[in-house]
Structure 1
Amino acid sequence: MSLNPIVERFLQGTLPEPMGMTLVGGGLPVPTRDLLQALAHAALRETPYTARALECLGAMPESMLAGVFLDAVEPPGPLQLVLCHRKEPALLEEALLNPSLTAEIVEASVPSLPGSVLEIVLNNQVMWMARPRILDLLEEHPEGEYVIKRRVNEYRFDVLRLVPEEVKKERLEILDEVEAGHLDKAWAELPLPKEKSREEEEAEIESEEMAAERRLLAQRPLVDDQGEEIVLTLSQRVAKLRTNQKIMLAIKGGKEERTILIREANRLIQVNVMRNGRITEGEVAYIAQMRTVNDEVLRIIASNREWMKKYTITKALVLNPRTPLPLAMTHFKRLLESDMKLLVKDRNVAELLRREAKRFLEQKAQGKG
């Protein structure tokens, strides 16, 4: 597309300076698209016209610029000019979606963009794959929301495969240990580490009582449901994993991994241990009596008919002070008389549960149960 002759002479450097000043000041009758080419030429590098050009751009009403960037802009300098020096979301959106936009312009413009349009940049995978520095700038942006920064991390690992050297080394060590038979094969399928999501952080919130119980538990040797001590090196390895890796290991890992992970404070990790297809009834009974598990874990156990057919699991669930009262009230009548007598004397469980258990025993003794 041909430019206005005056603008062409300005771009070629043959227009007299006084006339050039008038042009970049908006004082000559040239089309807006052509004027923007002149302003970009003057403002995107140090020239005698820079200050005047930026002043002119700032004074242009949004209505004058609306629609200018719906079609290709060649050369694309005006796109960078607007992205760096205007703040209207609708205008910036047009520029960011323009077919003439380049990765170089995006990289140069991100620090100047308002937070409201950063997602458009993040969604343009072609651009940041060409210039990965764009992801760094999005992550560093002071107006970038949490979800933007989380997705930046995901794209680094999942799309660009930008894995730190220490992570690569750890990964190779894990694969060697799996091949040697020292680690469950599920370790070989672990995803790359990622920062915690907001949901994962919220899933770690626990009561002071549970936190104190967990600290006390941490002082004892780590043993499984059979009382066998777990190798310390495995526990140390699990401790190094990020939340998303622990969740995956909880779903696919072996018995020792499950025993370690069910002690995690994170609710999502505990819940996914229960979803592990290899979990045994012995483990479920062991977990049902733990006082450091989230209520949701106990609800999962109580909702599984096959598990609840086992007396040891029912007993553990009812006697666990962490079990929600409605669940305990639903199942306590299945206890043997000897265990129900223990329940009546247990000051850790809810008063209402003990009272109902006592009343049930008295009715049974009178032949009414």
Structure 2
Amino acid sequence: MAPPIDISSLPGPAQKLVDPSAPPKLQELAARGVAPGLKPPAMLAVVVLLAKSERADVAATARATLAALPPPLLAGALASDLHPAVIDALARASEGKLDVLDKLVTMPRVDLETIEHLARTGTEAITELVATNEARLLAHPRLIELLYMNRATRMSTADRIVDLARRNGLELSGIPAFREAAAALEGELIPEASEEPTPDDVLFTETAALADALASPAPEDTHEASDEGAEAVKPKFKPLYKLIADMSISQKVRRAQLGSKEERLLLVRDRNRLVASAVARSPMLQEDDVNLITKNRNVSEEVLRILGSNAEWLKSYIIKRNLVENPKTPLSLSTRLIPLLRDADVRQLAKSKNVTAAIQEAARRHLDRKKQ
């Protein structure tokens, strides 16, 4: 957090303006950015302090002033060495003003939390500003994580900063599938930063828009069984499936972590293990998603292993049962879960033709042990 403004460091007139006992009308004027004799840095510090005033009207006026500073005051402030708390307040109030932010992010005393806020919440244009300072990204890898997980960050920029981390030996735990994302870039040509989005950026954005349009609050699988018993993509998801099919592995890995549940249910079936594994590590996964995935006998063993190693998902009885019944689940995991099932379900497993012989035998052994 940016250090608070030391009121005693302000000029005398500024200290009087922010004093709680100052006349309300005088504070109201100061909250509008009007205080003759004060230089822009001190005036802006006063406005920032008054934005937290206990006088509601004064605080509201000060916040409105920060969002629309008079041009002379803004210009004078941006040409000065501002206090970190002032930079932070101005940055948060100016998120649509690239010319202002461009100056703020390069100020010597800008606080790391201010940059993190912009990386986490910024628009495409703002994340481009943050991503240009590679020295700062390497010094504070959390910024790379926040930029990557911000859906507004361009795909080409996400590739560039992940590659930067990979080349410098960083491990980024804030990107759940970082290893998959980094591996997807090995041997790839990483595009240089550009003013205009690349074709991959456009594809990534179009896919996100279509996925959002198809999103449904109710869990629904993207596939259905054909007449021959094979899986086929449902008609309404075919346009999304086609866009995803045109993506690079790196793009798919990022969509797996940030996309909709419909995207995840398409991508978890991807033949590339990096993509499917990224789905299993996605922070966007919900219990309903995991229930559908663990039921599916066409997902990879690695996906089921990752999901079965997540204590959060194993709180669900249905997911535990799905994992045991799924023949793709690693045997060591399935047999470890059998004792956690109800006796009625274990008895059913012992004679079920829908599970492997190894699971049947493990279920029988468990029942025998309980009898003893």
- Shorter-chain TM-score above 0.5: no
Which protein shows a greater Rg?
A: 1
Q: TM-score, normalised by structure 1?
A: 0.42
TM-score in terms of structure 2 length: 0.41
